[in-house]
Amino acid sequence: MSGLLAGRSALVTGGGSGIGRATCLAMAREGARVTVSDLPGAGAEETVALVRAAGGEAHAVHADVTQPDQVAAMVQAALAAYGPLHCAFNNAGIAAMHVGAGGQRMGDISLQSWERMLAVNLTGVFLCMAQEIAAMERSGGGAIVNIASVAGLVGLPGSNAYVVAKHGVVGLTRAAAIDHAAAGIRVNAVCPGYIDTPMITEAMARRGEQILGTVPLRRLGQAEEIAQAVVFLCSDRAAFMTGAAMPVDGGYTTV
């Protein structure tokens, strides 16, 4: 098979929905064999079916990225299915509303909400990276892309724990890029603006016009547009990129 990722093995967390699903499909179109990971019942099998229907190769794994043993088993499953791991997209994540903290200011957020947000959106990325790096070091290198957000580059109102977690992902990306460059492992982050996925359905219903008013291109991004950036960062076209935090945001962070 030809393509930017021909012959590569790829792992995507949160691959059952939104940006993760679009990226599994895009990676498979570019020739990668894809391990699609998500929580049980969160759509991984449906993504695999879509990849196969389009002529690609994929299999499903269930893992909660906050659980070290499940993350280790997930990477082992990817290795068992497709051999050495070349690309990983650490994409699983939640929004403030998922921890009951939508719109809350720093003084109002509960410790439980704060800890859950950091556990999924920051520690989850750390746990996945640790296993992926160990596997990639054994096979001579690879490319990791972490999902951050525009909230990893600037502040957003009423999203403090989310902003902290995503800034943490950018920091983790930069630190790991330095530590593992000599092992041939590139680590980059993609920083999406507002993307049309289930994660922002509720916010768009509540204040869609206000959100679009903050985006110079005056539209939501599509999951496919993030997927293309991730494929690029995983591919040899980005061979000289590591430690980058790449905005794909319709101009949001330029204002």
Ligand X SMILES: NC(=O)c1ccc[n+]([C@@H]2O[C@H](COP(=O)([O-])OP(=O)(O)OC[C@H]3O[C@@H](n4cnc5c(N)ncnc54)[C@H](O)[C@@H]3O)[C@@H](O)[C@H]2O)c1
Q: How far is the CB of 218 from ligand X (least distance, A)?
A: 15
Instruction: Select from 203, 187, 232, 236 the least CA-distant residue to 102.
Output: 203
Per rule CB under 6 A, is residue 35 in the interface with ligand X?
Answer: no
CA distance 204 to 17: 18
Q: Site for ligand X (CB under 6 A): which residue of 24, 36, 92, 172?
A: 92
H-helix or E-strand containing 46? helix 44-53
Interface region with ligand X, contact rule CB under 6 A, candidates 51-59, 63-71, 76-84, 230-238: 63-71
Per rule CB under 6 A, is residue 156 in the interface with ligand X?
Answer: no
**CA separation, residue 220 to residues 40, 58, 206, 228 (Å):** 29, 28, 15, 16
Non-local (6+) Cβ contacts of 117 within 8 A are 94, 96, 99, 101, 161, 162, 164, 165
Sign of CA dihedral 75, 80, 84, 85: negative
Residue 177: what residue type? A
Convert residues 194-233 into a mask of x (bound to ligand X by CB under 6 A) and - (unbound): xx-xxxx---------------------------------
CB contact at 8 A, 216 and 208: no
Per rule CB under 6 A, is residue 91 in the interface with ligand X?
Answer: yes
Q: How far is the CB of 48 from ligand X (least distance, A)?
A: 13
Instruction: Clarify whether 194 is annotated catalytic.
Output: no
Q: How far is the CB of 101 from ligand X (least distance, A)?
A: 14
Per rule CB under 6 A, is residue 149 in the interface with ligand X?
Answer: yes
Question: Contacts with ligand X in 8-27 (CB under 6 A)?
Answer: 13-14, 16-20
Binding residues for ligand X (CB under 6 A): 13-14, 16-20, 38-39, 42-43, 64-66, 91-94, 120, 124, 147, 149, 192, 194-195, 197-200
